[in-house]
Structure 1
């Protein structure tokens, strides 16, 4: 799967559904599922060096002379796992990704289900 590394605070905002646009100075023709990874920089409240979720990269639009607006769609929850980030898009083997559809928005998880997922799969990796 194609992957993108971001500062940890941005990766966490995407995981929480609070960030639906990512700005980059470059574009790609790729559209589809994109693994979001947190950079290794240690920022409180983040998961440094871990894959955090998968999102749909829906579209990329020109946002300025040197800026592109990457429009992010549906979030797919996964079990976080360590990733060594790289610049631009890079490949991560699909078999490393374990999805948790029971907490995806399409399944309308209860607060209890979400809390259980977060306690088991997110909290242990928070810096």
Structure 2
């Protein structure tokens, strides 16, 4: 199954806080389910910057130490991709906005992430919540 590594707390927000846009510098033509892998790296400074943004969105995030990292944490459906010059909600200007729907938590799967879209063997993904 296809997967995308996302740094915390952004990965958490996709699965648990209805973050419905993933900002990327490149377009995606794929439509369908994709695993969200919480990247291993997240500095305290990155977390603090994200925390300020989350507050502006009215979202409280868990403490950095409690966020899962280095694991696949959920699945989401990519339904569209558009380039935008304008910030809106979760979308940042000058980025491709991957439109996400139907976030589902799964039992965490320890896995080493990669850049870009990568494949996680189907036998590792035992149960993806419907």
Higher RCO structure, 1 or 2 (CA under 8 Å, sep 6+): 2
* Map of 2:98 onto structure 1: 70
Alpha carbons of 1:60 and 1:100: their partners in 2 closer, same or farther (altered >3 Å)? closer
Runs of 4+ aligned residues of structure 1 deviating over 3 Å after TM superposition are none
Structure (1 or 2) with the greater helix fraction: 1
Q: Which residue does 1:93 correspond to in 2? A: 121
On the 8 A contact 1:38/1:49 being kept in 2, the answer is yes
The alignment of Structure 1 onto Structure 2 pairs a total of residues equal to 102
TM-score, scaled relative to structure 2? 0.71
Partner of 2:66: 45
Structure 2, unpaired ranges of 5+: 43-63, 86-92
Unaligned runs of 5+ in 1: 105-127
Report the TM-score when normalising by structure 1.
0.73
> Which residue does the alignment assign to 1:36?
36
